[in-house]
Every structure is written in C-alpha cells, then in structure tokens.
Amino acid sequence: MKLKIKNLSFVTGGPFVSVMNHHDADDRDIKPGDRILIRKNGKKIISVVDISDDGRIKKGEIGLFDEVLNYLNTEKGDVDVTLAKRLKSLGFIRKKLEGKRLSKKELFEIVRDINANNLNEVELTYFVSACYSQGLNMREIEDLTDAIVRSGSRLNLRRDIIVDKHCSGGISGNRTTMIVVPIIASLGIIIPKTSSRAISSPAGTSDTMEALASVSFDVKEIKRIVQKTNGCMVWGGAVDLASADDKMIKVRHPLSLDPEGLLLASIMAKKKAVGATHILIDIPYGRGSKFNTKKQAFSLKKKFLEISNVLGIEMKVVLTDGRQPVGNGIGPNLEAKDVLKVLMGDGPDDLRDKAIFMSTEILKMLHIKNARKIVIDCLNSGVAYNKMKEIIKAQRGDIFLPEQLEVGRFKKNIYSTRKGRVKELNNKNVSKVARVAGAPLDKTAGLYLYKKLNDTVKSGDLLFTVYSSSSKRLDYALDIIKERNPYVIG
C-alpha cells in the first residue's frame, strides 16, 4: 500500500511512530499498537502505528513523526506500507518475565531492536522490569554487556593506557569523578569519562558537569576534546556509545529501577566502548546506601572482577563508606560549587579526601611511585584546577568559579530541635527531599548540608538548607522532611 507522507512535526524522543487513517488501517486489518514496515528510497524501518479517525490524517495519508522522517531522509512523497512481522524480541522479553534464562542470541536480538527503536517504552519497560524481578546470571550479564558494546560505536583513541572510573551510585553529592578526571588528565594520562544522567539520585556526573559546560557531543567531538585535554566528562546518552544502555536508563528513571544485572552491564559496556584498559570501581556501602552491608558490596565486587576478566580489562574495586552523602551540596549546581571549591584549594574535606584516595588508587594501578604525593601536589599547586578549566573550555563551557552558579531563589533553613550528635544522615531521604525540590532537572534545586555523622549539634543549630526555583516544589519538599527528615539526632 502506498501512502502520502504528512509531516506531523512531532518528536517522540525514542521509538518510531506513525499515524494512519482508520479506513486505510481497516483495509489492512491494522490495529493501534501494531507495527508497520515503511519503505522509501531503499530504506526501511519498523514503526509503531496509531489510528486517526478525527480527520487530521486523510485517507491515503500517513502521519510521520520526526524520527521516522529523519531516518528515511525525506519530508514528502509516498512510502510503501505493509504490516510488519511480530518482533522475535517480544517473545524473548516474555521468556525473561517468566523467569527463564536468555541466550546470547536472544539478548543480541533484544539489544538490536532497542537500538533500532523497534521497541516502544512499554515493551522496553517490561524488559527492564524482568531484569529487576527475575535477575540476570553472570553469563547473561556478560552476553548483554557484549551485545550493548557491539551494537554501538566505539571511541578508538589508539592508546596503550586508557583509564576510567565509576561509582555504583546511591550516594548523594559523590562527585569525585569531576575532581579525579582533571587530576589524572593533568598528569598526561588519558581518561575519557562518559556518564549517565541521574536515575535515582538528585544529580549524576553528567547533570553536574552540565552546570559548567556542555556534555552532549558525538564521537568525533569527544575524540577532539580528549586529544586536546587528555580527558572529558560527557553524557553517554548523547552519543552512540553503548546507546542501548541509555535507552534502558530512560525507562529505569521514572521508577528509580537499578537492577544489579543491568547496572553491571551498563557500566562495563560504557567502559569497553571508550577503550578503557584500566578501571577503578567505587562501591559505597552502609546503612541508607544502595548496598547496606559489606557482604552485598563484596558480592558485587566479585562480579565486576569476573566480567573485567572476561573483557580483558585490568580492574580494581574499592569498597568505601556509604553511610552518608559526600560533600555538602546536593543537586547539580550545588555539587558543582563543591567541585570547583575543592579544585581551588577549599571545599568539603570529605569530598577532597575521597577524590585524593580515588586518584591515588588509579596511579597505583599504573605502578606510579609516590602516587598520593603526586595527587596532592596536583591539587595544591592548582594544576588540576587549570586542567579542569581546559576541559570546561573544550566542552564549550564558560563557568569556572563557584559564585557563577546560581541556587534556587526559594529556600528554607532546617534547624535542629534538640541537642546531641548526628546518629544518622540517611542518603535515601536526602535524595528524596532534593528530588522533590526539583533536582536534577532544576539545576538550582537541592540541599546544602551543614552537619555530618557524629557532629555535635545544639538545639537551634542549622542542619541544612533546601533550595528550589519553585515555591510549590519547596513546599512539597518541606512536607517530605516532616515525614522523612534525613537527620537523626540523639
């Protein structure tokens, strides 16, 4: 069936979508949600179809969204339309939902359809949910990692040593990457850092770096930045590096789903895609973090090491204290302020100390002597800060000072109602309050913490400040604080 193109001038942000007139659909027994095969100029795509009966799409027309038009490289003319065969990957997703194990071939088929935008968000959510509820065994994780890497582009830097680092997450304010990258890069070591946006936290590395510079670049631009500065901090979702993973992250975000199997595959696929030869993994654990016990953290460590061995990557995994946030600022701009202050010789001691520790561990992996002294000298001399400014400029940024970063114009100070010590500073509650206040989408929103674990507190002492660009969101955050105050004083 030939149908005339109607440009709908709409963006789906993901799956290929088209709209048919109900008469044309009835003639071919096509139902809403079915998939159709669209051909033009030697190209073909599979699109999810919706049906129009309100006259906006006339008989003989087909409404196409921007993603379809861009892929077909056309805006007018006719297209050939037929009913597409049922995707094999849907059967494999159902198989996973039933608790069965998937083969390498089946996982590759699912990833292929994710990359081709053949799966809609509901179907992709089913796959993520199946991985969450049924889990992935080590063979599935390895095969999924391989499938994600092979289906996307790679950053071919052609260097013998390429360093990367990653944190398993769950700790608010843990922006060590933005200090470690300029330290390592200033020493002439290549460290291309691709990161995801926040899934369950008030800010990811990409969200925070975006407060200072652009993070969306293609592979060619990333290579240019790294060749110029030795490092970068970019968003993986903006480039075809492990792109299937970023599509899964998009559907994991609303429900804050972070299944272990997908976490492992996600991290390792991104590292392999940038050509990493040496990786440092940070797994924070402790009450209120993603991993409550050392046993859980150690189990994940073993799995990381097993996968790195399969992929031929040298890896070191460190278990760190995750009982409370790292740094004082929580939320993109507030965290970026902390980072710049540390690089300028000030800032929160815990963030500085952890960044020094992580950088030192990387140098030790590379068998560099006097590692800790070298790292501290980089910070104290301003060399790391100057490298950060280089990277910001290379990424089209122009913010280099903490005072250039705005905070939400609506704020509320929260004071202690009793004296004692800080017995608990709950990561999950900190994250919840900051996200309700608007972070990470509102870069000015978040919390600023004034007290940490075991600090002495008097009645009336300032514990933290909540910021938001919306008075309503600030009110919602204050309601959450009444139910789930991050601080326990005793």
Active site residues: 258
Whole-angstrom distance, CA of residue 448 vs CA of residue 465: 5
Place of tokens 């704020």: 411
Contact 281, 271 (CB under 8 A): no
> CB within 8 A of 80, min separation 6: which ones?
1, 2, 38, 39, 40
Amino acid, res. 86: R
Beta bridge partners of 228: none
What distance in Å separates the CA atoms of residue 213 and residue 343, rounded to the nearest whole number? 16
Q: Residue 103: beta bridge partners?
A: none
**What is each CA distance from 267 to 92, 279, 355, in whole angstroms?**
23, 10, 20
Q: Which positions ≥6 away from 212 have C-beta within 8 Å?
A: 336, 340, 392, 397, 399, 400
Residues 6+ apart with CB under 8 A from 8: 19, 63, 64, 65, 66
- Which residues, 6+ apart, have CB-to-CB distance to 309 below 8 Å? none
Pairing between β-strand 2-7 and β-strand 78-83 as defined by DSSP bridges = antiparallel
Q: How many Å separate Cα 328 from the centre of its chain?
A: 21
φ, ψ of residue 67 in degrees (nearest 5): -60, -40
Q: Can you point out the beta strands (E) in 84-171? A: 163-167
| β strands within 253-335, DSSP E | 278-285, 314-321, 329-330
State which H helix or E strand residue 488 sits in.
strand 487-489
Give the whole-angstrom CA distance, residue 35 versus residue 50: 9
Helix (H, G, I), strand (E, B) or coil at 348: coil
CA dist 172 and 202 (Å) reads 7
Q: What is the rounded distance in angstroms from the CA atom of residue 414 to the CA atom of residue 412? A: 6
